[in-house]
Structure 1
Amino acid sequence: MAAALGSASSLPRFLGTDASPSVVSRRSPASASLCSRSLHSRSLVSVRATPFNPRCEVVSDNFVRKNEADSLPSGPSPLELLKSSAADRYTKERSSIIVIGLNIHTSPVEIREKLAIPEAQWPQVIGELCALNHIQEAAVLSTCNRMEIYVLALSQHRGVKEVTEWMSKQSGVPLAELREHQFLLYNKDATQHLFEVAAGLDSLVLGEAQILAQVKQVVKTGQGVAGFDRQISGLFKQAISVGKRVRTETNISSGSVSVSSAAVELALMKLPESSFATSRVVVFGAGKMGKLVIKHLVAKGCNRMVVVNRTEERVNAIRQELQGVDIVYRPLSETLTCAAEGDVIFTCTASESPLFSKENVQMLPSVEQGIGQRLFIDISVPRNVEPGISDLDSAQLYNVDDLEEVVAANKEDRLQKATEARGIIFEELNKFESWKDSLETVPTIKKFRAYVERIRASEMEKCLSKMGGDISKKQKEAIYDLSMSIVKKLLHGPMQHLRCDGNDDRSLSEVLENMRALNRMFDLETEMSMLEEKIKVKMERAKK
C-alpha cells in the first residue's frame, strides 16, 4: 500500500488548513465543478487538481514540510508525527465523518463502473480502509447510481488523502481524473447527504424505494465486521430510520418509478407504437434488479419472456411469485443464442465484464419486422453491453445514465413532497448530531467512573478491615449499598454535565469544557494521550 501513495503536495491545499471540519473551501467560478443539486444551501464539491482560489493557498511552512515528508517512503511513523512540533495542530482535530464518492450527479457511468464494488467484497473493503493509518471506521455504499465510501477519520485531510489514493489504486483511475469527478462532504454535511440518499432525495428517480433497501444492506453486511463500528453503524441505522419516516409521512414514493421501471418505460418509448405486445423480450439477470424489471414488464402487459441467469433457482422463485406468466429459463452459456432470438434485451447482471461486444451484436440476425432495430437497455454497473454497439445500424443502446428522459416526466408531482422530506431530515440530523457529539465525552465518563470506583472499593476495604472479622454478611451488604449509593449521588451531577443529548439547554462547547475541566481536576487521560492510544492500536493491528 505504501508504494501506491502519491505525493501529498498533489492534494488540494485547502484540505490541510485548520478550517472547521464542516467547511469545504470553494474555487473560483472558472475552475469549480459543483453538482447541480443543492439542499439547504449546500453543494457537493468536485475536487480537481487545478489551481484554487489564492485564499485557499495560504498554509504554514510546517504543514508544507509535513506534506512533503508524507511522500517519503521511509518517513516518520504516525506516532512520531503526533509527537512532532506540529502535534498541537494535529491533535486539535476531532475525528471526522467523511463521505468520499462519485454518483450520477458528478460522474458518468464509464467512471463509476471502474470504482463499483460488489456487495460480497464490502467487508473486505472495510478491513482494507480501516488498515489505513488515519481511518477508524468505514462503510461502502455501491449501487448502479453511486459508489460512496463513508469513514470516521482521526485526521480529516490525511483521511481524505489515504482513501482517495486507495480508491485510485483499486480502480486504476488516475488521481487527477478521480478528483475531477469525486465529491467530498464532512461531518454534518456528510450525515445530511446520507439521510437524503436513504430518503430517495439524491436518486435519479426522486423518492425511489430501492435505495433504502440498499442502505439496509450496508448495515446487514457490516454486522460483526471490524471497522463497521459505533459511529458509522449508528449513522447508517439512523439513515434507515430517516428513510422510513420520510416515506411514511410524505408518501414521496407513491407513484414513483425505480431504475428498473424507468428502464421498462424507456423501452416502451423507443419501440414503434403497438409493437410491444409482439416483441420478443429477453432479461439477463434474475437478481434484485432483474426481478423488478420482470415485474414491471408484466405490469405493462408482457406475459412471456426469456430470463437468462447463472442458475435456475432464482428464476423458479420468480415463477412462483408471478403465476400465469410464461417465464422461460436459459443458462448464461446460451447468451448469444438468446440475444439472436430477442428484439428487446434488458441486461442487469453483476458481471464485471461485458456480455455483449460490438462484434457479437453485429453477427446477430435481424429483429422481427416492424421493430426496426434490436433494443438494448443496460442498467448494470459495471455495464454489460459495450458502448460501441451504438455505432451499429441494427441496434439501439441505452444505459442507466439515459433514464433521465423518463424520470423528468415523473418528477414534478413529487417536488412538494421532497420539501416536506427535507424538514424531517433537518429534525433527524439534529438528533444524530447531538448523539454523535455526546460520544466525545464517553471516554471521560468511563474513566471518571472507574476513578471513583477505585476510591470507593479501596475505602470500603479499609473500613471492613478496621471492623474485624466479626461483621456479618448482612452488615457487609449494607456497607456496600451505602458506598454505592454515595457514589451514585455524587456522580449524578458531573454525569449530567457531560452529556449532550438534546434534552437540555447545554451547548456542545459547554459540555466539552466540562469534560476538559474534569480531566484537569482528576488527572484523567488527556486529548493527546487519547489520540496517541488510538494510533498505537492501529499500529499494533498492522503488525499482526
Structure 2
Amino acid sequence: MDATELLIKNNNLCRFNQFSSYYSSSLASFPSQARFFRNGMKIKRKTRSFTLNPKSQFVVDDIGSTSSSLSALELLKTSAADRYTKESSSVLVIGINFRTTPVEIREKLSIPEAQWPQAISELCGLHHIDEAAILSTCNRMEIYVVALSQHRGVKEVTEWMSKKSGVPTSELCRHRFLLYNKDATRHLFEVSSGLDSLVLGEGQILSQVKHVVNSGQGVSGFGRKISGMFKHAITAGKRVRTETSISTGSVSVSSAAVELAQMKLPQSSFANARVLVVGAGKMGKLVIKHLVAKGCTKMVVVNRTEDRVAAIREDFKDVEIVYRSLSEMFTCAADADVVFTCTASDAPLFLKKLVQTLPPASSDIGGRRLFIDISVPRNVESCVSDLETACIYNVDDLKEVVAATQEDRLQKAMEAQGIIWEEVIKFEAWKDSLETVPTIKKLRAYAERIRASELDKCMSKMGNEISKSQKKAIYDLSTGIVNKLLHGPMEHLRCGGTDNRSLGEILENMHALNRIFGLDTETSVLEEKIRSKMEKSQK
C-alpha cells in the first residue's frame, strides 16, 4: 500500500493534496536541525511543491544522540495529532426544530426514546465525540455532544444523522442549526423552560428533558458534562415555571390540537361530533384531558392494550371512554367525525387507499372527516389530503392556534430570560472548573510517586531493625507532609463557589501548575482520547 492510500485510509489526517500546506507547520514543531530527505537529496524548506515518496525519511539531529528516523507519514500523523489535540473540547448542539425544518424531514430524523442509549453509544464511537445526548420530540431533534474538535465533531455527527435517517447531508445542512458552548447551554435551558416551544411556556418539554436524563443513566457516553448540563436545564426549567407566570393558562401541543379541531368544525357541531383518539400514551391522555375540558362527554380510544385506557377512565369518571383494540381502528374511524392520532408508530396508520374506502363523515360537519395528526413520524399519510372526504392537519398546522396566545406570553418570556442567564453562568462556571480535575489528579499522582520513592529509600537504609509502629509513623509522616504541601495548590484549583477567586484565576493556576510540574494535562488527555478512538476503529 503506498503513502497516498494510507493517507486516504486514515480519515483523521490531512488529505494527500493538502500535504504541502501542512509541510511548513510540521517542520516548525521540530528542532531547527530537522531536514527532509527524498532519495538522498535535501529539499529546501521554502519548497512548496514536492511529491511524497513512500521511502521519504525525516531525520532529526539531536546533540549527544544518534540520528533517529521517522517516515514522512509518521511525521504527518504527529503533526495532525498535535494540531487538534491542542484544541480544547467543546459542548455543541446540532439540531433541527419546527422553526427550521418541515415535519416531513423531522419525522425521518426522529429517534424513539427506547433507541436513545444505542444512539449515544454510536455517537461516542465517532473519533471526535466524547459525550452525547439525544432530545427527540414531535417538534425537534437535537443532538448535544462534547466534541474533541468542533469542526470534525460537527462533520461526524452530521454524517451520522444522514446515515441514520437517509436524509442527504446537503439537505441536513440547509435545515440544521449549530450552537457552541455557552450558546448551546443557553439554548437547552430555554428549551427546558418552554421558551423555544411551538407553544411558549408549554410544560411537557420539561418532562421530556427529564426523560433524557433517565434514559442516559448507566450509558457510558452520557458523561459528566452532558449529564450535568441536562440536570441543570431541569433546574432552570423549574425555576422559570415557579418564579414566573409563563406557564399559567398555557397550551400544549395536545390542547392546541383540540382547539384547532374546535376552530375547524362548525361551532354548533363540536359538542356532538363523534371523536376517535388513536393512542393512549402521554400525548393521547392530554388530548383526552383537553377534549373533556372543551365539553366532550363521549369518545372512543384505540390503543394496543386496555390498561392505559382503564387508567385514563379512572381520571375522568364522568366521561364515557370506550376502549377498542388496534384491529378495530378502521371500523371506529368509519364511525368518527374527528380522528386524533398520537402514537409512536414509525409508519403511517391511515393510508390513502384505505381512508378512501371509509364512508363520509356526518353531514353536520360537511361530510369531510377531520384528521388531526400530532405524531412525529406522522400517523396519517400526507396524500390523504387529496381526498374530498378528508381534511388533514399536522403539528406544523398548530401555529395558527398558537399565534393567538403567543403575544400575551412574550413579556413573561423576558422575565424568564433573566433567570435562564443566571443559571447559564452557574453551569458554565461548574463546567469550566472541571478542566482542573485532570490537573488535580496528575499533581496528586506526581507527588505520590516522589513520596513513595523517598519512603522506600528511607526504609531500605533503616533495615529491619525498626518496629511496625515506627514504620507506620514514618509512613504517616511522609503522607502528612505531602498532604500539607498539596493543600494550598489543590485549594487554588478547586471552584467550590465558597471563596472570592474567579474562574479565570483558577484556570491560570491550573496552567501554571501544568507548566511548573510538566503535567501537560489538557493536551495529553485529548490526545489519549483521540488515539484510543482511532485504534478501536481500526481493529
Q: TM-score, normalised by structure 2?
A: 0.82
2:129 is equivalent to residue 129 of structure 1:
no
- 2:170 corresponds, among 153, 176, 181, to 176
Change (3 A) 1:523 1:508: same
Alignment check: 8 A CA contact 2:106 2:140 kept: yes
Work out the CA distance in 2 between the residues paired with 1:529 and 1:132. 19
**Structural RMSD (CA):** 2.6
- Counterpart of 1:374? 369
In the alignment, residue 139 of structure 1 is paired with which amino acid? A
Q: CA deviation at 1:353?
A: 1.0
Work out the CA distance in 1 between the residues paired with 2:235 and 2:475. 43
Alignment check: 8 A CA contact 1:141 1:149 kept: yes
Work out the CA distance in 2 between the residues paired with 1:158 and 1:82. 18
1:84-117 deviation per Cα after TM superposition (whole angstroms, max 9, x unaligned): 4344442231111110010011111111011001
- 1:232 corresponds, among 226, 231, 236, to 226
Secondary structure of 1:511's counterpart equals: helix
1:292-340 deviation per Cα after TM superposition (whole angstroms, max 9, x unaligned): 1111111222121111111212112212222232111111112211110
- 1:513 corresponds, among 508, 517, 533, to 508
Gap regions ≥5 residues in structure 1: 10-61, 63-78
Q: CA deviation at 1:481?
A: 4.0
Listed as ranges, the matches of 1:121-520 within 5 Å are 121-372=115-366, 373-464=368-459, 475-500=470-495, 502-520=497-515
Q: CA deviation at 1:435?
A: 1.0
Work out the CA distance in 1 between the residues paired with 2:471 and 2:278. 74
Work out the CA distance in 1 between the residues paired with 2:401 and 2:473. 74
Alignment check: 8 A CA contact 2:81 2:527 kept: no
Q: CA deviation at 1:390?
A: 2.2
Change (3 A) 1:311 1:81: farther
- Counterpart of 2:52? none
Work out the CA distance in 2 between the residues paired with 1:471 and 1:325. 87
- 2:112 corresponds, among 100, 112, 118, to 118
Work out the CA distance in 1 between the residues paired with 2:126 and 2:80. 21
Q: CA deviation at 1:540?
A: 4.4
Secondary structure of 2:247's counterpart equals: coil
Alignment check: 8 A CA contact 1:82 1:532 kept: no
Work out the CA distance in 1 between the residues paired with 2:115 and 2:459. 58
2:518 is equivalent to residue 523 of structure 1:
yes
Aligned-pair identity (%): 74
Work out the CA distance in 1 between the residues paired with 2:149 and 2:375. 36
Gap regions ≥5 residues in structure 2: 1-7, 16-47, 49-72
Work out the CA distance in 2 between the residues paired with 1:458 and 1:428. 46
In the alignment, residue 318 of structure 2 is paired with which amino acid? G
Alignment check: 8 A CA contact 1:303 1:325 kept: yes
Change (3 A) 1:370 1:501: same
- Counterpart of 2:65? none
1:431-475 deviation per Cα after TM superposition (whole angstroms, max 9, x unaligned): 111111111121111010111122233434444555565655555
Q: CA deviation at 1:158?
A: 0.4
Alignment check: 8 A CA contact 2:438 2:521 kept: no
Work out the CA distance in 1 between the residues paired with 2:131 and 2:153. 11
1:477-518 deviation per Cα after TM superposition (whole angstroms, max 9, x unaligned): 544444333322211221122234555554545433332332
In the alignment, residue 405 of structure 1 is paired with which amino acid? E
Work out the CA distance in 1 between the residues paired with 2:296 and 2:472. 77
Work out the CA distance in 2 between the residues paired with 1:336 and 1:388. 18
Q: CA deviation at 1:345?
A: 0.5
Secondary structure of 2:138's counterpart equals: coil
Work out the CA distance in 1 between the residues paired with 2:76 and 2:212. 33
Work out the CA distance in 2 between the residues paired with 1:173 and 1:105. 18
Larger radius of gyration: 2
Alignment check: 8 A CA contact 2:88 2:522 kept: no
Q: CA deviation at 1:542?
A: 3.5
Work out the CA distance in 2 between the residues paired with 1:82 and 1:313. 63
**More off after superposition, 110-119 vs 476-485:** 476-485
